[in-house]
Chains A and B, each alone.
Chain A
Amino acid sequence: MIILPLVEPPPIELPELDWLLLGPMALVLGAAVVGVMVEAFAPRSSRRTIQLVLTFGSLIGAFVLVVLAAGSGGPVMASAAVIDGPALFLQGGILLVALLAALTMAERHVDPSGDAFAARASAMPGSEDERQFTARGYLQTEVWPLFLFAVGGMMLFPASNDLLTMFVALEIMSLPLYLLAGMARRRRLLSQESALKYFLLGAFSSAFFLYGAALVYGFAGTVNLGGIADAVTAQPQMSGLLLGGIAMIAVGMLFKVAAVPFHSWAPDVYQGAPTPVTGFMAAGVKVAAFGALLRLMYVAFAGSEWDWRPAFWVIAALTFFVGSIVALVQSDIKRMLAYSSIAHAGFLLLGVIAVTPEGLAATMFYLVTYGLATVGAFGVVMLVRDDTGENTAMENWRGLGRTHPWLAGAFALFLLSFAGIPLTAGFIGKFSVFAAAAAAGEGWLVLLAVLASAIAAFFYIRVVVVMFFSDPVGDGPAVAVPSWFTRTAIAFGAAATLVLGIFPQPVLEWAAQADIFIR
């Protein structure tokens, strides 16, 4: 007879729930669940209206809650997440970006047959079913709950305080995006191909992240970021478990932000995905993933800064050079913007390498300005079309500035902001990130980054030249007349880019007040 030793388990501590701090995330994710039920019960004709009310209502409500919560903060849900200054600042930024992206997703006047999404994503491309669904004017309204789930995951990502919560947030953010990428109404095979690529590579990167988390747990005995930081400081000598863990977690994160050499998915996915989703993905994922990367590197692994900094140094340099140089030869606007976003990931890594409060504040400001301009830029890309859908070949944009000065002007403003020309928000963001990195002793890297910016400026300006200083072919590019949804998104993006370029002080101060991670 074997007598099993009975171990008395420690009493379970029930977590405190701070509803003001959890409110924004709970509202968005709750609205997503309600959205699924709407798809199940509401009649087809009223689904779109209900979903739009739910989406905009929850995003605006969550933004108000974030503003109300500003200044307060602390660990929530038994320290699984921590809502602090950076988390709230980035959540506010993500919600703004999501609002603009939702406006472009709601656009129904640009495509004569419906919105940007396939009438029925399940119908085989080119089949009779597809033709009939399109002719009946079906809309795939499931995109709205999927979108809200992705936004909820993005909000949790930079706020997660342990590696498991971070992984769950990563998946909540990514899984809906894989689906949304494959739902384009036009060029459906390209879209489905991009979704499959994104999914497979994303699954690999998630596996890397998870294995890294397991190794770090093996080293520290905890997945809590503060606990990992204590374990790192307590053991000054190198540890294979820790280094391997950091490396693998970094691979997972750098994949999400599309840093070289984990960037190869970005151009294909950005090109294939429906353009409003591309804008949302390019902006939102970058904000959320950089937020999480900053928290990891500043909180958990700050103690072994000297181990990971050289690797990040090389990756940052590779990323901004490869992004800028390959963008030079792109002839497709969407692919060019994809390589531009890769280059921006490189510049943003400077802020991660700095590991100073100034670096954190500068990176957060950069992220928000980049996000708003990106959604606006992809909003413009939606409008230049021909019979088969969007016309993203650069030669077809010739003379856009002569025929549609306002639209081309807005696009030029976004490009100049990406290039970092003064009087745009992009200049302030780039300048403050470079300044923070230089102050942290990374002078050489900043010098290289300035060189890469100069290369990047060339291809941004080239598009401006194509639009304004070359004669239109025939009648010029065909531009669809959008509803106020897209107009608002582009106008808000352009206004934010201009205002934050001329009066950046208030937002820079908010970022500077929010520059400490709570452990």
Chain B
Amino acid sequence: MNVYIPLLTLAGLGMLFALFSVSVTSLTGPKRYNRAKVDAYECGIEPTPQAVGGGRFPVKYYLTAMMFIIFDLEIVFLYPWAVASDQLGLFGLAAIMLFLFNLTVPFVYEWRRGGLEWD
């Protein structure tokens, strides 16, 4: 049973955090209602009834979403490296730097080719 204690603790902490953040935002957040607030998703895209132009979504939206994944992945791998960096030493540093460089390449490509300009 003992081995499950960390897992259960983690699950409990996760639940507490979810409850905490939902209740704190509903208690302390400003309540200024506008059109965007009543949308099903407040994400910059009109999900219903249908987007302008026959249900087409602007492709820039996906570019931004993919950018998010680039940085998300960066964190996912940086974190375990940071925890074990003393064991991994110079090899680990070189490897993570190579990884960061490779992650930057698509970002630079997108920036240079105008993918970051919204209009």
Cβ B9 vs Cβ A2 within 8 A? yes
**A4 CB-CB contact with B under 8 Å:** yes
Please report the C-alpha to C-alpha distance between residue A512 and residue B32 in the assembled complex, in whole angstroms.
Answer: 76
Closest-CB distance, B83 to chain A (whole angstroms): 10
Binds B, one of A34-42, A429-437, A476-484: A34-42
- Choice from A9, A14, A36 contacting B89 with Cβ under 8 Å: A14
Question: Can you sample 16 A-B contacts with CB below 8 Å?
Answer: A2-B9, A4-B5, A4-B6, A4-B9, A5-B3, A5-B6, A9-B84, A12-B84, A12-B88, A14-B91, A33-B102, A37-B105, A37-B108, A37-B109, A40-B109, A41-B112
B106 interface residue, CB < 8 Å from A? yes
B113 within 8 A of A: yes
The interface of chain A, by Cβ under 8 A from chain B, is 2, 4-5, 9, 11-12, 14, 33, 36-37, 39-41
- 5 tightest A-B CB contacts, nearest first: A40-B112, A40-B109, A14-B91, A12-B87, A36-B109
Q: Which of B1-55 contact A (CB under 8 A)?
A: 2-3, 5-6, 9
In terms of DSSP, what is the predominant structure of the interface of chain B? Answer: helix
- Size band of the B side of the interface? 10 to 19
Indicate if the CB atoms of B105 and A33 lie closer than 8 Å. yes
| Interface contacts beyond A33-B102, A33-B105, A40-B108: sample of 6 additional A-B pairs, CB < 8 Å, sorted by A | A2-B9, A4-B6, A12-B87, A14-B89, A36-B105, A40-B113
A36 to B104, CA, bound (A): 11
Task: Give the docked Cα–Cα distance between A40 and B5 (Å).
Answer: 51
User: Closest CB of chain A to B56's CB: distance in Å?
Assistant: 11
Q: Using Cβ atoms and an 8 Å threshold, which residues of chain B touch A14? A: 88-89, 91-92
CB contact between A2 and one of B3, B5, B102, B106 (< 8 Å): that residue: B5
Distance (whole angstroms) from the CB of A126 to the closest CB of chain B: 16
Q: What's the least CB distance linking A306 to chain B, in Å?
A: 39
**Bound Cα distance from A37 to B105, whole angstroms:** 7
How many Å lie between the Cα of A37 and that of B111 in the bound state? 11
Residues of chain B within 8 A (CB-CB) of A40 are 108-109, 111-113
By the criterion CB–CB under 8 Å, are B113 and A39 in contact?
A: yes
Interface digits, B78-116 against A, CB 8 Å rule (1 contact, 0 not)?
000000100111011000000000100110110111000
